């Protein structure tokens, strides 16, 4: 990869505070004509420059909604209610005008989605879809320009050919790499990756994760890695947030949390992973009685 | 490191209904729409008028009145070119249109449910064969054939109903097939099958009730289509020459557009209002039976 | 390339089979028709049995049913649709002189309604203003419920009788042939209206569905403006199903042409058919039906080809055999 691509992004930018600071965030989403769900409840978290943060929890824990809130990709319906604070590069984004979010999405935050097929426009070539993500003023042309470079950076080979293809003509792993290319094409300060490998089979999953890891390192981008799979997050993050039922129930340095989990839910989550990986025999499922008690309990890492 | 959550314990997680906590039944959603109720009333009134028209509507064939009278106190809708009371003719004219509408819809629904249900529930060879039949009936120019058949076989009202019913069922059949195929996969139907209940009984007692919602919506819309088609045929002069229907009244009216506007206006309004009422009811039913979250993005 | 050939061969075969079935239905209808065709030929005048037999032989009426069926099918497929019992002219000639009028009207009605439906449907599908969506979708349901021949009568009454702005019958002034725009305006509006109504509803739901897809999120994540997300990602995907809808609407257009041409005395195939029905000129009725069926089938094939060219997921049929899975 060319080095001039990377200049300016590895240097920390001005301002001492964290890149993102989320304070007491609440998000309500509509679920029916009149019903809604409190998907995120008073969540606070922060991501420093160059830091890699994991968010783990089962489906419905609010981790995806939190990630989308940071990337400005919550549904635009007026029935989506957001309270609390999201400060991005020193700017308060809750209640900010849409243009402010446009700027953030153009330059600051990139998002990698879960399902590589449905998240690509079926009637547009890969090349054009990546080109759209390249900020204005840069070379958007195919092979020698940014499109080719970012496709290559995302681990794709034969990039000219790939750029001419449509999503349905690529394999799942290739599509996921295209999504990565789209997300990094703006050389963002922060990448939010929501279950980036869940839809892929195990071997492809490993390779795509390795690419993501390498890309983030090269670009010096901060990463929020969202996953239900604690094993995925373990190897790639510095700090970790464990979410359950819309709340952060535990947080701290990844190693500390994994070695000495303090919240019962984290312990259960870890146990279910180990029971699967160690001998593959015992399947631990979480009893409902435990779930009720976790929801009331919060643990935070001691300084 | 950070410290989270200084507040008190929250309630147990889950979906919290904000706003209406009452369960949203289709009936409730339907009756929440003022337009739906209005058109339900309109439809009921029109049906009543069509049924009772011949009783209190006066004599539609007597030519004892002065011809070509514009609407007045004596003749609220005027008289036609032969001196017949137009109100009486309009009141009588609805009966046949509504009858054809409902009969065709009923026939289409029965055929569609039967054929679609069999195809979807049994699958396999039966499905393949029946789908071919459905595709064929969808591809043939149904309306044109109805016109030709009615023209050649003569304009007997039952022939018209039969032909329209025969060409109108594929839409319902497609819906029914998809629904039956889906329901047949559900656990309890498989269980019933495994438990040895005969297929036909499962089809009637389990698949049918579960598939009814979209079928009802489609059938409602068919009523409107059939009324429009019948009026069209009557307008072209294909129909029972001795019986006035709204369509045939319009056929009478065209030569007198210059002088007797009322003859063209009122029957058309009647067709329009009935079809609109049926379609609005169908639309509201659709919203009530298939509630969606609406637009989230 | 092979897959493409197989696909179109299948489509062609099924179209021909369909045409054959329609012809068979028509033939049987004619057999079932009340009245003796020989009687119709001879009229009421008394004739000798020899002359009757001669006429029967001349028109093939003495042959068994299956032979007459095969002859009829053979004639149709060789382009012989018989001749009119009224004017004696070949049916193909009659249709050829009328078809352009119908096709011009139907084409412009289709074009007009398609363009407007895409605009209205897209607006209704994307807007957050409840009243706007409600008035577009409610309005199209209202228009959809208007009998289009009655709409035609009302247009004539208002613009022809009351206002006297536009001519209300024919395609050009009496004695002239060809089509004049002033004459086409009312029938065109009338025909386009009912098309517009149902197409708008479909476009609206198609738009809502497209805007709810995941790739819209990806487009937003790139920081594209709302308009760009709409025009580059939402609209193209929403318009895909419209190709099929336009193809399917040909049947309705042609069937509707009988009513509208009758209302406006528009000298097309529809009016030819209506007049033939009234005069019991069965060969013309059948001929028009067969030609309309062929037109519908051709439209189906064209739709299939167009869809294959427009949707890249199907375009693969033309270039490579399926997507490369690597």
Cα-based distances in Å from A266 to A251, C89, C211, C267: 10, 89, 37, 80
Among the partner residues C128, C217, C285, nearest to B152 by beta-carbon distance: C285
Q: Are residues A64 and A201 in the same domain?
A: yes
Name the phi and psi angles at A26, rounded to 5.
-125, 130
Asked if B264's CB is within 8 angstroms of C29's CB, the reply is no
- Are the CB atoms for C198 and C140 separated by under 8 Å? yes
Q: Which of A134, A164, A185 is the last residue of a domain?
A: A185
**Mean pLDDT lowest among B31-35, C66-70, C317-321:** C317-321
Asked if C144's CB is within 8 angstroms of B254's CB, the reply is no
**Which residue in B has a C-alpha nearest to residue A40's C-alpha?**
B13
Helical segments of B123-156, H only? 124-139, 142-153
Dump pLDDT digits (tens) for C185-200. Answer: 999 999 999 889 989 9
**Which residue in B has a C-alpha nearest to residue C216's C-alpha?**
B297
Q: Which of A150, A167, A185 is the last residue of a domain?
A: A185
**Which residue in B has a C-alpha nearest to residue C289's C-alpha?**
B144
Q: What is the dihedral of CA C19, C23, C28, C29, to 10 degrees?
A: 100
Q: Which residues of chain B neighbour A35 with C-beta distances below 8 Å? A: 15, 17-20
Section C177-181 average pLDDT: 80
- Are the CB atoms for C18 and C295 separated by under 8 Å? no
Residue A51 domain flag? yes
- Are the CB atoms for B230 and B101 separated by under 8 Å? yes
Q: Which residues of chain A neighbour B29 with C-beta distances below 8 Å? A: 33
Confidence band, pLDDT 50/70/90 cuts, at residue C316: low
Interface test with C, best of B232, B245, B250 (most C CBs within 10 A): B232
Q: What is the pLDDT along chain A (303 residues), one digit of tens a residue?
A: 444 444 444 444 444 568 889 888 999 888 776 778 888 898 989 999 889 999 988 887 888 899 999 988 888 777 888 888 898 888 888 888 888 888 888 888 989 988 778 899 998 989 888 888 887 666 555 445 778 888 888 888 888 888 888 998 888 888 888 998 888 888 888 999 998 887 777 778 888 888 888 888 888 889 999 988 888 888 888 899 998 888 888 888 888 888 888 888 888 877 766 544 444 444 445 556 666 666 655 555 433
Interface test with B, best of A58, A239, A296 (most B CBs within 10 A): A296
- Are the CB atoms for A257 and A251 separated by under 8 Å? yes
Q: Which residues of chain C neighbour A174 with C-beta distances below 8 Å? A: 326
CA-angle at C54, arms to C50 and C55, nearest 5°: 120
SS3 of A5, please?
coil
| C325 close contact with A: CB closer than 8 A | yes
Residue A302 domain flag? no
**Which residue in A has a C-alpha nearest to residue B7's C-alpha?**
A42
CA pseudo-torsion sign B130, B134, B137, B139: negative
Cβ neighbours of residue C85 under 8 Å, at least 6 residues apart? Answer: C40, C41, C279, C280, C281, C282, C283, C284
Q: Are residues A85 and A125 in the same domain?
A: no
Cα–Cα distance, B202 to B196 (Å, whole number): 10
Name the phi and psi angles at B253, rounded to 5.
-75, -30
Question: What CATH number does the domain located at C96-325 have?
Answer: 1.10.3720.10
Residue A128 domain flag? yes
Asked if A123's CB is within 8 angstroms of C236's CB, the reply is yes
Cβ neighbours of residue B73 under 8 Å, at least 6 residues apart? Answer: none
Instruction: Give the per-residue pLDDT at A291.
Output: 63
Dump pLDDT digits (tens) for B82-133. Answer: 778 878 888 888 888 888 899 999 999 999 988 888 888 887 888 888 888 8
Residue A141 domain flag? yes
Asked if C221's CB is within 8 angstroms of A73's CB, the reply is yes
Prediction pTM value: 0.82
Cα–Cα distance, A133 to A120 (Å, whole number): 13
Tell me which residue of C21, C105, C271, C76 sits closest to B145, measured CA to CA: C21
Spatial strand order of the sheet with A222-227 comes to: A109-112, A190-194, A222-227, A52-56, A239-244, A247-253
Instruction: Give the per-residue pLDDT at A16.
Output: 56
CA pseudo-torsion sign C264, B255, B164, C92: negative
- Are the CB atoms for B244 and B53 separated by under 8 Å? no
Element spanning A110, H or E: strand A109-112
Q: Are residues A60 and A209 in the same domain?
A: yes
Max mean pLDDT among B10-19, C54-63, C113-122, C172-181 falls in: C113-122
Cα-based distances in Å from A121 to A94, A118, C204, C239: 29, 7, 19, 14
Asked if A71's CB is within 8 angstroms of C218's CB, the reply is no
Which of 230-249 (B) contact C at CB < 8 A? 231-232, 235-238, 247
* Residue B291 Cα, gap to closest chain A Cα (Å): 8
Q: What is the pLDDT along chain B (297 residues), one digit of tens a residue?
A: 343 433 333 333 333 333 344 556 777 777 777 788 888 888 888 888 888 877 776 777 777 777 777 887 777 777 877 778 878 888 888 888 888 899 999 999 999 988 888 888 887 888 888 888 888 887 777 778 888 887 787 777 888 888 888 888 888 888 888 878 877 777 676 777 777 777 667 777 777 777 777 888 888 888 999 999 889 988 988 877 777 888 888 988 888 888 888 888 999 999 999 999 999 998 888 877 765 434 333
Q: Are residues A239 and A148 in the same domain?
A: no
Q: Which residues of chain B neighbour C217 with C-beta distances below 8 Å? A: 297
**Mean pLDDT lowest among B64-78, B180-194, C3-17, C84-98:** B180-194
Among the partner residues A73, A171, A174, nearest to C220 by beta-carbon distance: A73
Instruction: Give the per-residue pLDDT at C67.
Output: 85
Max mean pLDDT among A277-286, B212-221, C44-53, C172-181 falls in: B212-221
**Which residue in B has a C-alpha nearest to residue A301's C-alpha?**
B1
* Residue C285 Cα, gap to closest chain B Cα (Å): 7
Write the DSSP assignment of C132-187 as a string of letters.
HHHHHHHHHHHHHTS-HHHHHHHHIIIIIIIS--S--SSSSSTT--S--HHHHHHH
Which of 92-121 (A) contact C at CB < 8 A? 98, 102-107, 110-111, 113, 115, 118-121
Q: Are residues A211 and A96 in the same domain?
A: yes
Q: Which two tokens stand for residue A226?
A: 């969202």
| C25 close contact with B: CB closer than 8 A | yes
Residues of each domain in chain C carrying CATH 1.10.3720.10: 96-325
CA-only gyration radius of chain B, Å: 25
Q: Are residues A155 and A135 in the same domain?
A: yes
| C178 close contact with B: CB closer than 8 A | no
| A38 close contact with B: CB closer than 8 A | yes
Tell me which residue of B86, B13, B97 sits closest to B51, measured CA to CA: B97
**Cβ-based neighbour number of residue A201 at 10 Å:** 10
Q: Are residues A74 and A209 in the same domain?
A: yes
Length of chain C: 326
Q: Which two tokens stand for residue B208?
A: 């049918």
Q: Which string of b and e fits C61-93 if b means at least 16 CB within 10 Å?
A: eeeeeeebbeebeeebeeeebbbbbeeeebbee
Touching subunits for chain C (3+ Cβ pairs under 8 A): A, B
Cα–Cα distance, C245 to C259 (Å, whole number): 22
Tell me which residue of C306, C287, C97, C114 sits closest to C191, measured CA to CA: C114
Give B116 or C47, the one with higher predicted confidence: B116
Cα-based distances in Å from B132 to B129, B139, B164: 5, 10, 20
Q: Are residues A91 and A221 in the same domain?
A: yes
Q: Which two tokens stand for residue A229?
A: 């799979």
Cα–Cα distance, C111 to A170 (Å, whole number): 36
Q: Which residues of chain B neighbour C153 with C-beta distances below 8 Å? A: 250, 253-254, 257, 264, 268
Q: Are residues A145 and A89 in the same domain?
A: no
Q: Which string of b and e fits C283-309 if b means at least 16 CB within 10 Å?
A: bbbbbbbbbbbebbbebbeebbeebbe
Q: Are residues A14 and A51 in the same domain?
A: yes
- Are the CB atoms for C247 and C52 separated by under 8 Å? no
* Residue B210 Cα, gap to closest chain A Cα (Å): 21
What is the domain count for chain A? 2
C85 alpha-carbon distance from chain centroid? 26
Instruction: Give the per-residue pLDDT at C324.
Output: 40
Which of 40-99 (C) contact B at CB < 8 A? none
Q: Are residues A49 and A33 in the same domain?
A: yes
- Are the CB atoms for A140 and A134 separated by under 8 Å? yes
- Are the CB atoms for B275 and C147 separated by under 8 Å? yes
Beta strand A20-30 with A81-88 is antiparallel
What is the residue range of A153's domain?
119-185
**Which residue in A has a C-alpha nearest to residue C321's C-alpha?**
A169
Say which residue the tokens 């509630």 belong to: B291
Instruction: Give the per-residue pLDDT at C313.
Output: 78
Asked if A248's CB is within 8 angstroms of B5's CB, the reply is yes
Q: Are residues A274 and A192 in the same domain?
A: yes
| B5 close contact with A: CB closer than 8 A | yes
Instruction: Give the per-residue pLDDT at C318.
Output: 57
Among the partner residues A33, A37, A46, nearest to B291 by beta-carbon distance: A33
| C154 close contact with B: CB closer than 8 A | yes
Q: Which residues of chain C neighbour A169 with C-beta distances below 8 Å? A: 316, 323-324
Instruction: Give the per-residue pLDDT at A259.
Output: 83
Q: Which residues of chain A neighbour B7 with C-beta distances below 8 Å? A: 42
Instruction: Give the per-residue pLDDT at B121.
Output: 80
Q: Which of A128, A158, A185 is the last residue of a domain?
A: A185
SS3 of C294, please?
helix
* pLDDT at residue C116 greater than cutoff 90: yes
Asked if C221's CB is within 8 angstroms of A110's CB, the reply is yes
A268 alpha-carbon distance from chain centroid? 23
**Which residue in A has a C-alpha nearest to residue B17's C-alpha?**
A35
């Amino acid at each position: 990869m060319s080095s001039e691509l990377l200049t300016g992004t590895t240097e920390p930018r001005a301002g001492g505070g964290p890149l993102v600071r989320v304070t007491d965030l609440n998000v309500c989403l509509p679920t029916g004509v009149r019903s809604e769900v409190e998907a995120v409840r008073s969540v606070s978290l922060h991501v420093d420059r160059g830091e890699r943060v994991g968010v783990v929890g089962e489906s419905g824990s609010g981790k995806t909604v939190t990630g989308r809130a940071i990337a400005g990709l919550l549904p635009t319906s007026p029935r989506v209610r957001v309270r609390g604070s999201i400060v991005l590069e020193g700017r308060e984004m809750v209640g900010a005008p849409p243009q402010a979010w446009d700027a953030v999405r153009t330059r600051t935050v990139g998002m990698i989605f879960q399902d590589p097929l449905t998240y690509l426009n079926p009637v547009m070539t890969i090349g054009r879809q990546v080109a759209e993500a390249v900020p204005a003023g840069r070379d958007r042309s195919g092979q020698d320009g940014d499109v080719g470079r970012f496709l290559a950076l995302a681990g794709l080979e034969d990039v000219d050919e790939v750029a001419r293809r449509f999503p349905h003509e690529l394999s799942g792993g290739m599509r996921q790499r295209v999504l990565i290319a789209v997300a990094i094409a703006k050389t963002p300060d922060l990448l939010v990756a929501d279950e980036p490998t869940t839809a892929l089979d195990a071997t492809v999953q490993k390779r795509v994760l390795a690419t993501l890891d390498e890309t983030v390192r090269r670009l010096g981008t901060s990463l929020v890695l969202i996953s239900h799979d604690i094993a995925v997050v373990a190897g790639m993050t510095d700090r970790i947030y464990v979410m359950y039922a819309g709340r952060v129930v535990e947080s701290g340095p990844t190693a500390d949390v994994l070695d000495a989990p303090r919240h019962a839910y984290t312990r259960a989550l870890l146990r279910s992973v180990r029971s699967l990986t160690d001998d593959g025999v015992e399947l631990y499922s979480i009893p409902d009685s435990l779930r009720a008690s976790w929801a009331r309990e919060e643990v935070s890492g001691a300084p | 490191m950070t410290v989270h959550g200084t507040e008190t314990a929250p309630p147990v997680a889950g979906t919290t209904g904000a706003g209406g906590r009452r369960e949203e039944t289709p009936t409730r959603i339907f009756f929440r729409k003022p337009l739906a109720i209005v058109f339900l009333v309109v439809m009921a009134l029109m049906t009543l008028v069509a049924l009772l028209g011949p009783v209190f509507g006066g004599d539609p064939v007597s030519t004892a009145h002065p011809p070509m009278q514009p609407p007045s106190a004596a003749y609220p809708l005027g008289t036609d070119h032969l001196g017949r009371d137009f109100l009486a003719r309009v009141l009588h004219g609805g009966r046949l249109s509504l009858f054809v509408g409902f009969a065709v819809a009923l026939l289409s629904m029965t055929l569609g449910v039967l054929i679609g249900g069999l195809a979807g529930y049994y699958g396999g060879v039966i499905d393949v064969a029946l789908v071919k039949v459905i595709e064929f009936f969808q591809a043939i120019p149904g309306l044109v054939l109805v016109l030709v058949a009615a023209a050649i076989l003569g304009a007997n009202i039952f022939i018209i109903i039969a032909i329209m019913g025969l060409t109108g069922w594929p839409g319902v059949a497609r819906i029914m097939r998809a629904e039956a195929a889906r329901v047949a996969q559900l656990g309890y139907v498989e269980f019933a099958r495994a438990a040895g209940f005969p297929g036909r009984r499962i089809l009637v007692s389990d698949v049918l009730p579960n598939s009814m919602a979209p079928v009802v919506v489609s059938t409602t819309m068919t009523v409107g289509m059939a009324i429009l088609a019948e009026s069209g045929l009557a307008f072209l002069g294909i129909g029972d020459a001795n019986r006035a229907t709204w369509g045939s009244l319009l056929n009478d009216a065209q030569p007198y557009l210059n002088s007797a506007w009322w003859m063209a206006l009122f029957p058309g309004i009647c067709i329009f209002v009935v079809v609109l009422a049926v379609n609005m009811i169908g639309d509201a039913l659709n919203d009530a039976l298939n509630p969606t979250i609406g637009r989230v993005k | 390339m092979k897959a493409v050939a197989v696909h179109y061969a299948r489509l062609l075969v099924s179209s021909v089979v369909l045409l054959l079935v329609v012809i068979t239905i028509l033939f049987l209808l004619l057999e079932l028709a009340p009245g003796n065709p020989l009687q119709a030929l001879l009229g009421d005048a008394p004739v000798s049995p020899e002359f009757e037999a001669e006429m029967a032989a001349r028109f093939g009426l003495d042959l068994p049913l299956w032979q007459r069926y095969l002859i009829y099918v053979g004639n149709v497929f060789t382009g012989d649709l018989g001749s009119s019992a009224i004017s004696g002219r070949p049916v193909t000639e009659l249709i050829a002189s009328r078809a352009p009028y119908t096709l011009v009207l139907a084409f412009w009605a289709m074009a007009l309604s398609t363009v407007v439906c895409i605009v209205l449907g897209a607006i209704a599908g994307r807007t957050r203003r409840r009243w706007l969506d409600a008035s577009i979708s409610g309005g199209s349901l209202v228009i959809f419920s208007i009998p289009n021949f009655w709409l035609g009568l009302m247009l004539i009454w208002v613009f022809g009788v009351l206002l006297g702005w536009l001519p209300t019958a024919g395609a050009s002034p009496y004695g002239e042939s060809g089509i004049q725009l002033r004459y086409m305006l009312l029938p065109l509006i009338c025909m386009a209206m009912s098309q517009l109504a149902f197409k708008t509803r479909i476009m609206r739901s198609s738009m809502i569905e497209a805007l709810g897809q995941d790739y819209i999120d990806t487009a937003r994540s790139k920081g594209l403006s709302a308009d760009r997300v709409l025009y580059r990602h939402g609209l193209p995907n929403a318009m895909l199903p419209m190709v099929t809808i336009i193809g399917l609407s040909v049947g309705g257009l042609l069937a509707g042409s009988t009513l509208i041409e009758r209302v406006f005395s528009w000298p097309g195939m529809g009016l030819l058919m209506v007049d033939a029905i009234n005069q019991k000129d069965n060969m013309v009725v059948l001929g028009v039906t067969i030609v309309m069926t062929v037109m519908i089938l051709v439209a189906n094939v064209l739709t299939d080809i167009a869809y294959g060219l427009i949707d890249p997921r199907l375009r693969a049929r033309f270039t490579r055999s399926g997507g490369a899975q690597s």
